[in-house]
Structure 1
């Protein structure tokens, strides 16, 4: 791989005798991983049905390497949200967050959603998960991935860190800053990152990271956890950012991180005026583990001001507006979903508990998307299908993962079927994958057009 000359010189100066091994790692195939979504299937159950060759990733409970011959992105189980394809080193970040049920969690730079969905698994759909992405198109991709994984307690916003900080002072229990960076750790995975790299961009990223981290810190409650991560090797973006932040924010300290075989320590000798606790941060190197380059620091807020009065989100939905939805649930579901209903235009959502007002913020997804209120009827959303299982519906239609029928369904084709008319939860191997509506022996396809398979 043709690495930038300035990058090679910089890494030689940092690594000395280790540089040769580091450089040779770029001649090897990148490691590929997937993380099992235990919101839908326990790890042991997935391992019994998986068609892939899997090997455990040591640093994440639900993570596995998959073989070069496998194509998990082209399997129906992917569309059913049974796993998330994610770079193995990146999985360490979500694991370090250690999100718990009932937590209030912020993923400040969240797209495409690997770390967001990892934290959601720990939360078990309980609590409030705010996933933010400043770039509009990437925010939509983030929202789609949250939907696919069956997450019901997440809100997606398209905002700046500064505007969120004004709305959520000292609010979150856990915050992730997976900071935009120069991407040096992704050169093997993403050649475009290599082509765009420069020493000047490293300096720009470092300044931006400091700004993002400062805004994030104001949103963390006293006693809360903040995880900072990058996918770059530059000390200016890693140890330098954390050292400067700790020295200017006395209410924060660096926490110890569980170190796995092959993980390295942060290097205080690579920066000027480095903080003495920098050795508690972690570096992941591609020549030492099966994964790309990453840096992690876990920070704890030891003190600060508690904020007690915050504006709670208002619910504008009247019971009379839910008539068609109630009829749908009576005909289709075993139990009616409960929660704070919100009509967002003609779209019906249930808000996460403890969600604050999102008034005047750019909101992509204000909660669990249930469906569309149409004239005299309710049409359920794809998100609703993917968050249900067969025991929660009155009618379902199961297709086998290796069948011609499931490929036809994913391509948008209808299915010949006999049975009571109405909405059916379509399953693949017993796992929900979408909706179908049966009428006159034809199960009409409601798999979203934008997600349909082509060329299969």
Structure 2
């Protein structure tokens, strides 16, 4: 492919004898990858049911290569949220931030959600994910991916980092900053990025990165960890940005990243000469089956104090804060729900019902798209469940389920929003709300009336 001349000159200076091998990698086909959603299925379980050929990504425990012609985004398992399509190198940052269940985690530059959805799976139901995206249209894509993966405890914000840091100073256990960058590592995957590149872009993005990192450090707890990543080769945006961070924040220190044989060390010469920069990791396309990436893992001085003010779901009174009539409608529907976790932390805004996380901080004034899990709407004399609720449920957690095999032609029709017919005995109850599943994985809602399932699959998600 044709690369910008200024880019070529700089890369030849950086790589020396490796330059020709680097350039040759652009004539090779790009790699395609998917990451298994461990909230819904384990990697081994997915391997057993995978409907197309997959090969493990050796440096990511739940990552797999697939063939472009298999088109996994057309398969029902994609709509069930069993996997997220993600370039193999881009899977790496979330896999190298050591998130534990119950952590408070921030993804500061989160759209479209590849890394955020993995972090949401890692924190589990006891933790909290704040996923932020400053661009409003990209934030909507982020919200859809969070909801499709069945993540229950996310706060999706649309804010500047400085506004977040005023609310969340010293709040997060772990922070991921996958920073906006000049995108040089994506030229093979996205040739349009190469077409708009010029030599001023690294300096422009380095300035943005400094502000983002300053606010990220402010939001990190003492003892917490921050992983910085980019998809560029620019030293100004990589070792240069980390050099500035270390100089400006003496309480931050680089730590080793879990290794892989294909990873390359950071280069102190490309920063301020600090030998600690060797702890950074570079992913080169001529050395690994992926695009270009950079990572640095840092820890703030101090001892990490675990969260004492986060309430574990179930520690609330069921349906507290609701009017009696609202509570009765929701209680009636939830008689079919076989788990108590959706009855805690309820918030009603107008007719909409949400299960919300407990922050322990005042978050009023922040722009957000979603706080918690959208359960459904309170209508006159009834409660209507919504798509995110379905995606968070497991088949065994709802009383009345319509389970369709992956070969059943009704699955395709359901995903396109069509009415489908149900024979006697296919559901536990004759009429009413059904959780529609493909095999054992939820897809959405339908309402059965005398053998006809009225399709409630979200219009905006329907298959073309």
Distance 1:379 1:212, change over 3 A: same
Range with greater deviation from structure 2 (334-343 or 274-283): 334-343
Aligned counterparts of 1:374 and 1:390: Cα–Cα separation in 2: 25
How far, CA to CA, are the matches of 2:421 and 2:200 in structure 1? 60
In the other structure, the counterpart of 2:445 is: 435
Q: How does 1:294-313 map to 2 (within 5 A)?
A: 294-303=293-302
Figure out how many residues of one structure are paired with residues of the other and give that number.
451
Q: Following TM superposition, by how much is the alpha carbon of 1:247 offset from its aligned partner in structure 2, in angstroms?
A: 1.4
Three-state SS of the structure 1 residue aligned to 2:296 is strand
Aligned to 1:371: 376
- Partner residue in 2 for 1:448: 458
- Structure 1 match to 2:367: 362
- Work out whether 1:325 is the aligned partner of 2:335: no
The CA distance in 1 between the partners of 2:288 and 2:26, in whole Å, is 13
User: Residues of 2 paired with 1:261 and 1:17: CA distance?
Assistant: 20
Most deviating of 45-54 and 156-165: 45-54
Which aligned pairs between 1:9-88 and structure 2 lie closer than 5 A?
A: 9-88=9-88
Instruction: Tell me which residue corresponds to 1:285.
Output: 284
Distance 1:247 1:168, change over 3 A: same
Look up the SS of the partner of 2:134 in the other structure.
Answer: coil
What does the per-residue CA deviation read over 1:279-334, in whole Å, with 9 as the maximum and x for residues that have no partner?
0000001110000000000000014999999999x99932523221111112x322
Alpha carbons 1:247, 1:275 under 8 Å: kept? no
Q: What TM-score, normalized by structure 2, do the two folds share?
A: 0.93
- Contact 1:397-1:426 at 8 Å conserved across structures: yes
Q: 1:238: Cα distance to partner?
A: 0.2
Q: Deviation per CA, 1:410-430: give whole Å up to 9, x if none.
A: 111111124511111101122
Does the Cα contact within 8 Å between 2:102 and 2:123 map onto a contact in 1?
yes
- Partners of 1:10 and 1:174 in 2: how far apart? 34
Instruction: Report the Cα distance in structure 1 between the residues aligned to 2:109 and 2:304, rounded to whole angstroms.
Output: 25
Which residue is 1:158 aligned to?
158
**Residue range with higher mean Cα deviation, 303-312 or 407-416:** 303-312
**Corresponding position of 1:423:** 433
Q: Deviations over 1:59-103 (max 9, x none)?
A: 111111112331111100000000011110011101111211110
1:42–1:310 distance in 2 versus 1, CA, 3 Å: closer
Who is 1:382 aligned against? 387
Unaligned runs of 5+ in 2: none
Q: Deviations over 1:150-177 (max 9, x none)?
A: 1111110100100000001101000011
Q: CA deviation at 1:338?
A: 3.0
Give the drift of 1:250. Answer: 0.7
After superposition, the Cα gap between the structure-2 partners of 1:409 and 1:439, relative to the gap in structure 1 and judged at 3 Å, is same
Deviations 1:238-275 (A, max 9, x none): 0000011101211010001122121101011123x332
Distance 2:274 2:329 in 1: 60
Q: Distance in 2 between matches of 1:403 and 1:382?
A: 21
Alpha-carbon shift at residue 188 of structure 1 (Å): 0.8
The normalised TM-score by structure 1 is 0.95
- Matched residue SS, 2:65: strand
Partner SS for 2:200 = helix
Q: Where do residues 222-301 of structure 1 align in structure 2 (5 Å cutoff)?
A: 222-271=222-271, 273-301=272-300
How far is the alpha carbon of 1:39 from its aligned partner? 0.8
Cα distance in 2 for partners of 1:19, 1:48 equals: 41
**RMSD (Å) for aligned C-alpha atoms:** 2.1
- 3-state DSSP of counterpart to 1:199: coil
Q: Which residue of 2 aligns with 1:400?
A: 405
Distance 1:393 1:433 in 2: 13
Determine the C-alpha separation between the residues in 1 that align with 2:286 and 2:80. Answer: 34
Cα offsets for 1:182-222 (capped at 9, x unmatched): 00001111122111211111111001101100000000000
SS of 1:69's partner is helix
CA distance in 1, matches of 2:31, 2:363: 40
Secondary structure at 2:343's aligned position in 1?
coil
Distance 1:308 1:400, change over 3 A: closer
